[in-house]
């Protein structure tokens, strides 16, 4: 086969199967694992598709997370420059030591122990939504009835955001995660979300509660700017956690359910052995890799990766989806194997920025999937698979809706 060495192409985004990344990644990983990439802003950078290279990049401090210097992999709203600047609270796009300061403040709220302590409340929330689904009867859109409200309610309670405001902020957050978005629409959503969160921070200063935002305010000593957070910082942290808490687990729950329903043998085994849910969740994370366009980094200096010279200032895109299907690291990577041995999947990223909320996501999924399967033993798609609207147009992959049906007890004669 004739290798198209050094042909600079845009990021492959066309999937041939809803559960698999674009097939072009496989060719790139085999033939050109560090390949020149044409970014939508006209700049040329690099695309990494091997697991080893992706992990190395994300752990390499010669690369910066600074969003202001990086090109974005797809045409998308960048935000206003001050959204990512110093003391903006937007730790996702910061480097040490600024990132470290925020991360050390926040990690205590997302430890394994703390997230496990939320399990009884999450079980209750899941049961409430299953009850409502059962009362309403089929068909049901799993996204609006289950997958979105559960993580939304949980992150709202954790942060201290009124869940009753959800129609407002869910609209803004989903707008901001769309690609190919018009600038004025993006700015309107951005400004609305900023205004909402600033007002909320002011309300927490006036009337604190027991949740995270009030806790962050309560640690102020009024003197040390390293400790005290400004309203802008609190608002930035609040926006990041609210968006991240909404759009990630929600999409894993809906897309994960669709995946399970499309793999009946695997689903049957999981129903028979629900204690295997921990491995199953890790495998769904690997297999689906909903951060579909990957993570960008900017070289601070000239660096060599896989024999290619990356110049200072160039953007490198780590494809998490390609890395998670690398046969050098995963046996039969194209197979969904819910009993796969623990592996170094990069669905949560890698390095200092590895997902802050990952333990929350795990607990939510480990509770929600088995409860859903237990409640509806005959759960199935209510439409032909080709009618399930996929989120190819969103930063976070998944389904826009998942119409499901099941046999009611009366239908089954039980």
Binding mask 112-141 for other proteins (x = CB under 8 A): xx----------------------------
Residue 14 or 113: the one with the smaller Cβ distance to other proteins is 113
Identity of the residue, 11 or 368, whose beta carbon is nearer to other proteins in the bound complex: 368
Locate tokens 């992999």: which residue?
A: 73
Closest distance to other proteins from the beta carbon of 339 (Å): 16
Please tell me whether residue 330 binds other proteins under the rule CB under 8 A.
no
Q: Which helix (H) or strand (E) holds 185?
A: helix 183-206
| Minimum separation from the CB atom of position 223 to other proteins (A) | 19
Token pair for residue 210?
């027991």
Cβ-based neighbours of 273, under 8 Å, separated by 6 or more: none
The backbone region for 309, taken as left when phi is positive above 0, alpha when psi lies in -120 to 50, beta otherwise, is: beta
Measured CA to CA in angstroms, residue 61 lies from 103, 131, 300, 301, 352 at distances of: 16, 48, 9, 10, 9
Q: Give the separation between CA 208 and CA 215, rounded to whole angstroms.
A: 8
* Token code pair at residue 89: 């609270």
Give the closest residue to 212 by CA, choosing from 164, 167, 255, 155.
155
- Per the CB < 8 A criterion, the answer to whether 316 and 305 are in contact is yes
Residues 329 and 340: their CA atoms lie apart, in Å, by 12
- Complex with other proteins: residue 211 or 355, whichever CB lies closer: 355
Three-class secondary structure of residue 394 per DSSP: strand
Q: Does 350 engage in binding with other proteins (CB under 8 A)?
A: yes
100 binds other proteins (CB under 8 A): yes
Strands (E) across 165-307 are located at 295-299, 303-305
Question: Minimum CB separation from other proteins for residue 302, in Å?
Answer: 23
CB of 31 to other proteins, least distance (A): 29
Q: Which range touches other proteins (CB under 8 A), out of 24-32, 98-106, 117-125, 247-255?
A: 98-106
Work out how close the CB of 110 gets to other proteins at its nearest, in angstroms, rounded to a whole number.
Answer: 7
Q: How far is the CB of 104 from other proteins (least distance, A)?
A: 4
Residue 300's CB is within 10 A of a number of other CB atoms, namely 16
Q: In this structure, how many other beta carbons lie within 10 angstroms of the beta carbon of residue 321?
A: 25
Q: Minimum CB separation from other proteins for residue 111, in Å?
A: 4
Nearer to other proteins, 362 or 391 (CB): 362
Q: Which of 354, 378, 387, 412 binds other proteins (CB under 8 A)?
A: 354
Binding part of the chain for other proteins, among 44-52, 78-86, 350-358, 395-403 by CB under 8 A, reads: 350-358
Asked whether position 104 contacts other proteins by CB under 8 A, the answer is: yes
56 binds other proteins (CB under 8 A): no
Which of 325, 287, 294, 330 lies closest to 29 in space, CA to CA?
Answer: 325
Q: Interface with other proteins includes 62 (CB under 8 A)? A: no
The least distance separating other proteins from the CB of residue 360, rounded to whole angstroms, comes to 10
> With CB under 8 A as the contact rule, which of the stretches 21-29, 110-118, 297-305, 365-373 interacts with other proteins?
110-118
DSSP state of 386: G
* Residue 108 in the binding site for other proteins (CB under 8 A): yes
Contacts with other proteins by CB under 8 A lie at 58-59, 100, 103-113, 342, 344, 348-352, 354-356, 358-359, 362
């Amino acid at each position: 086969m004739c290798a198209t060495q050094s042909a600079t192409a845009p990021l492959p985004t066309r999937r041939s199967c809803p559960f698999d990344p674009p097939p072009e990644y496989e060719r790139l990983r085999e033939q050109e694992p560090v390949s020149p990439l044409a970014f939508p802003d006209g700049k040329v950078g690099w695309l990494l598709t091997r697991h080893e290279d992706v992990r190395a990049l994300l752990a390499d401090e010669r690369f910066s997370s600074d969003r202001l210097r990086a090109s974005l992999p797809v045409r998308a709203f960048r935000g206003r420059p001050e959204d990512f600047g110093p003391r903006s609270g937007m730790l996702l796009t910061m480097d040490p030591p600024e990132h470290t300061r925020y991360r050390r403040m926040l990690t205590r709220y997302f430890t394994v122990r703390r997230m496990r302590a939320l399990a009884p409340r999450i079980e209750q929330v899941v049961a409430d939504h299953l009850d409502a689904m059962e009362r309403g009867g089929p068909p049901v859109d799993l996204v609006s009835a289950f997958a979105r409200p559960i993580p939304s309610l949980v992150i709202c309670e954790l942060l201290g955001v009124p869940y009753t405001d959800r129609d407002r902020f869910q609209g803004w957050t989903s707008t901001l995660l769309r690609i190919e978005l018009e600038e004025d629409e993006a700015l309107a959503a951005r400004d609305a979300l900023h205004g909402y969160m600033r007002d909320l921070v002011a309300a927490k200063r006036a009337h604190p509660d027991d949740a995270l935002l009030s806790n962050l305010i309560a640690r102020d000593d009024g003197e040390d700017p390293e400790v005290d957070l400004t309203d802008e910082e609190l608002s930035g942290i609040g926006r990041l956690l609210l968006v991240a808490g909404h759009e990630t687990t929600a999409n894993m729950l809906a897309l994960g359910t669709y995946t399970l329903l499309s793999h009946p043998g695997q689903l049957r085994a999981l129903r028979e052995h629900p204690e295997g849910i921990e491995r199953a969740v890790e495998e769904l994370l690997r297999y689906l890799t909903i951060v579909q366009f990957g993570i960008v980094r900017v070289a601070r200096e000239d660096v060599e990766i896989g024999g290619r010279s990356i110049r200072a200032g160039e953007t490198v895109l780590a494809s998490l989806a390609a890395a998670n299907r690398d046969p050098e690291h995963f046996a039969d990577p194209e197979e969904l194997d819910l009993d796969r041995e623990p592996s170094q999947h990069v669905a949560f990223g890698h390095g200092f920025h590895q997902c802050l909320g990952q333990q929350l996501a795990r607990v939510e999924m480990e509770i929600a999937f088995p409860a859903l399967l237990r409640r509806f033993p005959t759960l199935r798609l209510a439409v032909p698979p080709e009618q399930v609207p996929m989120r190819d147009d969103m930063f976070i992959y998944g389904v826009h809706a998942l119409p499901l049906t099941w046999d009611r007890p009366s239908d089954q004669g039980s």
